[in-house]
Structure 1
Amino acid sequence: MRKTVFLLSAYVTSSMVACSGGETPGEPPVQQTADMLSEGRSIDPRPSTEELASELRAIARRSRGAVEVSEIGRTNEDRPVWSARVGHGPVRILYVTQQHGDEPLGTPAALEFLRLAGASDGPWQRWLRSRVTVAIVVRANADGFERNWRYNYDPDANPEYGERGKGYDINRYHNPALQPDDNPATEAGHIQRQYTAFAPAIVVDYHMQGRYRDLGGREITGSVKWPTHPDTKPEQVELAKRITVLVQQTMNAAGGNVSQYPGGDYEGIARNAYGLRGSGSVLIELSAMGAEHEPAQIRAAFLSMVAIAQTAAASGLGWIDPAQADRIPPRGEPIPALAGAAASWAPPPGSDSDD
């Protein structure tokens, strides 16, 4: 399988620290972070199901107990859905990657976060783990990944969101009124159970989108959004907006161009559902810009994970003005000649958004 190589310059980490409210007692060592994602180690943007399991187990072994890896369920084809947990602090954060099987880049970013936060044992790592607990559902949709398609695999599916005879769009089946045991989208039920058991204050869901340009013609590298369902409590919306601002600043400091995502308000979308359930819930969409941009996109997702965890561990997010989220520029128009070649994503039938 083709692998890509990371190049992480020191200024990226320094900028990320600045975005989190300035120097903190737990400032991550710049050189150590750079070494984690260096010229010396290649990163597979699409590890196989077997390679993913092997990587997670290896990280857990190297962490000497700091990272715990477990199955939270099985797919319809009996593949594991993995959860990895690091830290024992009071602030709980849940990251979810690859609900859509053909949107892979959040998964290698999650592996890098686990290596940095758990497999290393420096002062910063110990400080972070004492203040936050991070759980990650790593590749929620293993069956969809195997087929390189959006949906899970269910040949009996006749879904409202998905494709008959193919599968369900997992990210339409998180409705708080839908009980996990009654959830027709198997993997969404696993995520619901994980959410209930873990009770996170923050939920961040990593996806991918096509290619877009902003109003000035520059290509968009990613998009972000908070809950937009009208019944979401204001305090959850404000927290999610603060996270959104932090993510945009972090990714832009790393050379990105992050826009506001034009998502809908359907309560079954994870971004909305977990906001309704009481968390600061955020969507991150990485643009599918082609193979040559994948290292930068994985790096951007990794940096967002570090920035959210570090900021929550240090000063918290209260210093960020949530009104800044509304000033994040709109995504703009698709780039037709590139969008189809870059990714196989498509909005589900009958939906007004593709998250």
Structure 2
Amino acid sequence: MGLQNNAEIVQSLYLAYLGRAADPEGLIYWLGQLEEERASANQVKQAIANSSEATAHLALLDSDDYVRSLYHHYFEREPGSLEVNYWAERLESGNLAWDELPDCMVDAACAQDQEALRAKLSVANYYSQHVTQNDYDIKQPLALDHLQSNEELYATLGRLAEHEAITLEQVGESVEGMPLYSAVVGTGPKTLMIVTQQHGDEPLGTEAVLGLLEYLAGESAGAQTLRETMTIVVMPRVNPDGFARWQEQVAGSEGVLDPRYNSNGIELNGTYDPNQPYDPDLAPESAAVRQQVAHYRPDLFLDIHNQNTYRSEDGSLATLSIMWPTNENIDPALIEFSQRAAVAIDQALGEYDHDNLTRYPGNDVPGISRNGLGLDGTATLLLEQRGLQEMDQLAQGTELDFSALAGALTLELWIGMVGIAEAMSTGSVDTLDPLLALQIPERAEAVSFEALYGSDQLLAFAEQSPMMLEETQLLGIQQDEAWLI
């Protein structure tokens, strides 16, 4: 796995030797050294590795601890004992110097670890480039290491509601009596409404909107402007019963009702056809959503989901798919505005390394929220983000550390949501060409979990003494065939 640019090189060195994202001034300085060829990558590595901060940190670690710290800072996971022993023995024997280990581990990383590192580098780089030196936090998380339970979600919403900028209201109950909340920020004339987790096993959008609420309640100039110009309505996790069942599956329970449905077995995102009203007793969750739409009449409605893993037209992995209303009976002006909103999100994501937006293959079914609310006079966008396949694997009992990728995906959603809110706030969304939405690449073929992670491994460092075959299989490293002769 080769690092792709100078920013990745600098961020990887900060993670390896300092355990943190680069501070803004440090990133600017070292990028200048590299780009103006005043220092080589190796010289930058030596300077950071020999800094007082790095030497003080490394002095506290023995070989095993150093290996574990690199697995955590690079791949956001705990290594197995075989992995620790393999690398620690090479450090202690002198076959590897301590400052050689990070590069060797990157070169030998399996596909899942490669993806985790790319995700962490993207998050670190975005943070370093968008925080001031005074606001920089050495402990800034670069991964999402926890999905909040229903109880934790309600506690977080309660804490957020302590901000005077946020109004929290219970607007309904699920089939099993779990509360459904609406959090409202701002008093502006334009309204953006966001709904997450109509399917219980699609939790990343909920984590992203909590981050959005945290930002909107803050004191930054951008947040204050949005509060003055926008009304933003957030309904997080409208299928709490389904999410609780998904958590039961992860814990090992079998035979539970599909968490995608509500507890009456209803597919919530099929109950929005205005010409065929759905019984609110069967689907009280979507009834609460429709009531909030009727109350606020949003200028734009975002419906956030997770999808399986797909490729883009160029073969790269899609991170997010987007689609506007596509039913032929919807007002063309609403469709055009939705397309402009899609363009605004695409443009906002252009500055983020871990973004690969594709066009979702839409249909004209009137019952889905994207079309049903469109038929009822609301501009809508569907956002389908990668992650469902990983959630399914967790529910099947697969040991999978998804936290680094989840962190990068939730940041992508956050950037997109802030981007469209700002475009609506300034009115710039109205100036965008809706036809640009049709230039977003189409979502292509699906990629199975096995195809993605099962055999696509990188070579271990070729000039090292070969590991035993059993070791490489456990470590997830592909051997050069010549080593096996």
The TM-score range, normalised by the shorter chain, is 0.7 to 0.9
Q: 1:124 aligns with which of 190, 197, 222?
A: 222
**Aligned twin of 2:383:** 284
Asked if structure 2 preserves the Cα contact closer than 8 Å seen for 1:141 and 1:187, the reply is yes
**Aligned twin of 1:25:** none
Cα drift, residue 92 of structure 1 = 0.6
**Aligned twin of 1:196:** 294
- Answering whether residue 367 of structure 2 is matched by residue 268 of structure 1, we say yes
Q: 2:313 aligns with which of 215, 233, 246?
A: 215
> Would the alpha carbon gap of residues 78 and 44 (structure 1) be closer, same or farther in structure 2, given more than 3 Å must change?
farther
CA distance in structure 1 between the partners assigned to 2:453 and 2:308 by the alignment: 9
Asked if structure 2 preserves the Cα contact closer than 8 Å seen for 1:180 and 1:192, the reply is no
Q: 2:260 aligns with which of 150, 160, 172?
A: 150
CA distance in structure 1 between the partners assigned to 2:271 and 2:138 by the alignment: 35
CA distance in structure 2 between the partners assigned to 1:207 and 1:226 by the alignment: 14
Q: 1:51 aligns with which of 132, 148, 152?
A: 152
CA distance in structure 2 between the partners assigned to 1:315 and 1:94 by the alignment: 17
- Answering whether residue 206 of structure 2 is matched by residue 107 of structure 1, we say yes
Q: How many residues align?
A: 312
Cα drift, residue 336 of structure 1 = 2.3
**Aligned twin of 2:83:** none
For 1:228, the aligned partner's letter is T
CA distance in structure 1 between the partners assigned to 2:422 and 2:202 by the alignment: 26
- SS of the equivalent of 1:57 reads helix
> Would the alpha carbon gap of residues 316 and 278 (structure 1) be closer, same or farther in structure 2, given more than 3 Å must change?
farther
Higher fraction of helix: 2
Q: Deviations over 1:162-185 (max 9, x none)?
A: xxxxx1110000111244655632
Cα drift, residue 304 of structure 1 = 1.1
> Would the alpha carbon gap of residues 170 and 340 (structure 1) be closer, same or farther in structure 2, given more than 3 Å must change?
farther
Cα drift, residue 139 of structure 1 = 0.5
**Aligned twin of 2:274:** 176
For 1:72, the aligned partner's letter is V
Q: Deviations over 1:22-55 (max 9, x none)?
A: xxxxxxx743998599625874552001100000
Q: Equivalent pairs: percent with the same residue?
A: 31
Asked if structure 2 preserves the Cα contact closer than 8 Å seen for 1:211 and 1:338, the reply is no
Asked if structure 1 preserves the Cα contact closer than 8 Å seen for 2:303 and 2:370, the reply is yes
Cα drift, residue 253 of structure 1 = 2.9
Q: 1:137 aligns with which of 228, 231, 235?
A: 235
Cα drift, residue 277 of structure 1 = 1.9
For 1:49, the aligned partner's letter is N
| CA root-mean-square deviation | 2.9
CA distance in structure 2 between the partners assigned to 1:38 and 1:229 by the alignment: 47
**Aligned twin of 2:96:** none
For 1:199, the aligned partner's letter is R
CA distance in structure 2 between the partners assigned to 1:301 and 1:220 by the alignment: 13
- SS of the equivalent of 2:304 reads strand
For 1:96, the aligned partner's letter is V
User: What is the TM-score when the length of structure 2 is the normalising length?
Assistant: 0.59
> Would the alpha carbon gap of residues 200 and 142 (structure 1) be closer, same or farther in structure 2, given more than 3 Å must change?
same
For 1:98, the aligned partner's letter is Q
Q: 2:348 aligns with which of 250, 268, 275?
A: 250
- SS of the equivalent of 1:85 reads strand
CA distance in structure 2 between the partners assigned to 1:33 and 1:222 by the alignment: 33
Higher fraction of strand: 1
Cα drift, residue 270 of structure 1 = 0.6
User: Any gaps of 5 or more consecutive residues in structure 2?
Assistant: 1-75, 78-115, 247-258, 391-401, 455-485
CA distance in structure 2 between the partners assigned to 1:94 and 1:35 by the alignment: 31
User: Any gaps of 5 or more consecutive residues in structure 1?
Assistant: 15-28, 155-166, 343-355
Cα drift, residue 237 of structure 1 = 0.4
Q: Deviations over 1:306-330 (max 9, x none)?
A: 1111111113411211001111111
- SS of the equivalent of 1:83 reads strand
**Aligned twin of 1:325:** 437
Cα drift, residue 280 of structure 1 = 1.8
